[in-house]
A = this chain, B = another copy of it.
């Protein structure tokens, strides 16, 4: 994700991976709404780009969640059904597909955006990382204070040992906590040599860089270099995972199911692409290896596993697909369950850990994803929250590296994402314990188990959180909540606390802008506003002038903005390099509340249909928020956002689509927008870009016509 962002922003970088190509990749499969929105945001309709936007098409959409538990006779029965994704929270619904596809889409995207210039370099092992001292105040973006020493290793050395069944792909080589210790014992020769100081210098390369982002997993080498410990704990609950095509008379096998059996544990059913089904199965009988008791000095991790202390750790080599299936069959009783076409399996112990810091060395070195937070996989959060970490960081790095924004904005990465990680850990802690517990049987003697109603409630409240759509960033250089006239609420519906401006009471500040449709003034096409807010590194200023027919003064106000925007002292010109497209840093979009047949494009000021250096008009900056469409029904964006057509509003949207600031539709409001940018953007008045504006390519089609600088 980080590489996709940086390549989309056309900023050079390298991406190194210590593993060879043939590695068994991780096996996450859930794509939450927000991840699908982000994927979509990297796709633009005029681009021949068929990677990340394939996700929605190829993944299996999960529509319904069914809860099964014992009835008062102890018989398994369907207790209730709910929408798997809460209706209305996103235009996408939770979907699932093998992680291999997602990795391929990213590789294709990086290749596409970088025009083939950037490839993953592997296997390349990092050996050391050094950051030159810099005085905080004097940090210079032109410096390359970070040195990373890397060594090329052979593909053979870069392959980790596979445990368990050698014939079926599985995740046993990496899913267990002990892997870290294991890998240090049995690490590739070259790594061993380095620790012994024996790496041949001629095999090494020193990479001089401005920044480093460590996306290197739960056993992060970068995190170790930063000397950051993970905080958290491990439970005794052991789970197995099977990806296979089931043969069963269970009627809900193509729905997501949470099944609590009376005595045999729980199953989560995740119907997957191509008739596969993933089963998360609670294991009851897994052998432990007494030699691995944690009071044995060999194991010095963060493990807080009482059984491990006294009985030793789970012996993962004893976890087989057959063992997992056998347990599943017990849970499914009286329904039958057999297995064909096993494609992957693994086993894991549930634990939750989070790193207290996401960066060090004055924000020169970052960690992201599993390197900062690990937890149980059943809520489908790991891959999603990890991708969203660098979706947060990537645009900030690009802005800073291009000299457009001050380095101070980088500190918002930790302040914004650490909170998300902690919320995630708390959510997972609660859900996984309820899911692993024995169920209470209504009207029976067994009343001390997990109350199914409580489980449902936690599940439903967690659903909004799990969708990734209510991630809420606090006040900072990049988010301005505190000056807003505020409405807050926390009515326990899972939405949490929200901060809104009264001018747009349905737009929570700090969250991603919820997408609704609007209509292009120029051609009448209805489009989702999110599709106009592509991930291309630009900020957006959305101007809502209201109804200009009923309130003609609003049109006058809108026209009065032209002078302010033309002034080189103000944000639009000031923060855009002299010879760049005028909208390549900040993109101004106007959305009126008139039927588009009532008004003409040339009624509006020039900045709503600006000309470029060839006098070509940009027709895609003026929209109608209201009207009947020919093919897609009624549109009413002002209602959707709670904006009064009499007063209007102005929104500032970050490159990651989070709402940064809400101000009145007025000259004063526009000046507040100016103040927002002046706090962290860098004056470009004297900056002339070396390269020409991007124009037609040889094949005579537009490429990236509005790419950020």
Mark contacts of A258-273 with chain B using CB atoms, 8 A cut-off: 1 yes-contact digit, 0 otherwise.
Answer: 0000000000000101
B83, B249, B602: the one within 8 Å of A602 (CB): B249
Contact B274 A702 (CB under 8 A): yes
> Complex formed: what's the CA distance from A85 to B632 in Å?
12
Q: Which residues of B contact A87 (CB under 8 A)?
A: 630-631
Interface size class of A (residues with CB under 8 A): 35 or more
Q: Which residues of B contact A524 (CB under 8 A)?
A: 63-64, 255
User: Chain B nearest CB: distance from A295 CB in Å?
Assistant: 42
A219-276: which residues lie under 8 A (CB-CB) from chain B?
A: 245, 247, 249, 251, 253-255, 271, 273-275
Contact B614 A701 (CB under 8 A): no
> Complex formed: what's the CA distance from A601 to B335 in Å?
14
B58, B85, B520, B631: the one within 8 Å of A83 (CB): B631
Contact B247 A616 (CB under 8 A): yes
Contact A702 B275 (CB under 8 A): yes
> Complex formed: what's the CA distance from A175 to B615 in Å?
32
Q: Which residue of B lies closest to A344 (CB)?
A: B700
User: Chain B nearest CB: distance from A555 CB in Å?
Assistant: 17
Report whether over half of chain A's contact residues are helix, strand or loop; otherwise say mixed.
loop
Q: Is residue A213 contacting chain B, with contact meaning CB distance below 8 A?
A: no
Contact B46 A340 (CB under 8 A): no
Q: Is residue A696 contacting chain B, with contact meaning CB distance below 8 A?
A: yes
Q: Is residue A54 contacting chain B, with contact meaning CB distance below 8 A?
A: yes
Number of copies: 2
Enumerate 26 A-B pairs (CB-CB under 8 Å) in ascending A order: A45-B57, A45-B58, A47-B58, A48-B58, A50-B54, A63-B525, A64-B630, A83-B631, A247-B617, A251-B600, A251-B601, A251-B602, A253-B522, A255-B522, A255-B523, A255-B524, A271-B523, A273-B701, A274-B701, A274-B702, A274-B705, A275-B616, A340-B616, A341-B696, A341-B700, A343-B700
Given A614-B340, A616-B275: A61 touches B525 (CB 8 Å cut-off): yes
Mark contacts of A664-678 with chain B using CB atoms, 8 A cut-off: 1 yes-contact digit, 0 otherwise.
Answer: 000000000000000
Q: Is residue A619 contacting chain B, with contact meaning CB distance below 8 A?
A: yes
Q: Which residue of B lies closest to A93 (CB)?
A: B631
**Ranked 8 nearest A-B pairs via Cβ:** A50-B50, A83-B630, A254-B523, A254-B522, A63-B524, A274-B702, A343-B700, A64-B524
User: Chain B nearest CB: distance from A98 CB in Å?
Assistant: 8
> Complex formed: what's the CA distance from A616 to B616 in Å?
58
Given A57-B53, A169-B700, A251-B600: A523 touches B616 (CB 8 Å cut-off): no
Q: Which residues of B contact A62 (CB under 8 A)?
A: 523
> Complex formed: what's the CA distance from A630 to B86 in Å?
8
Q: Which residues of B contact A255 (CB under 8 A)?
A: 522-524
Q: Which residue of B lies closest to A168 (CB)?
A: B700
Q: Which residues of B contact A701 (CB under 8 A)?
A: 98, 273-274, 343
Q: Is residue A679 contacting chain B, with contact meaning CB distance below 8 A?
A: no
> Complex formed: what's the CA distance from A631 to B63 in Å?
9
A594-626: which residues lie under 8 A (CB-CB) from chain B?
A: 597, 600-602, 614-617, 619
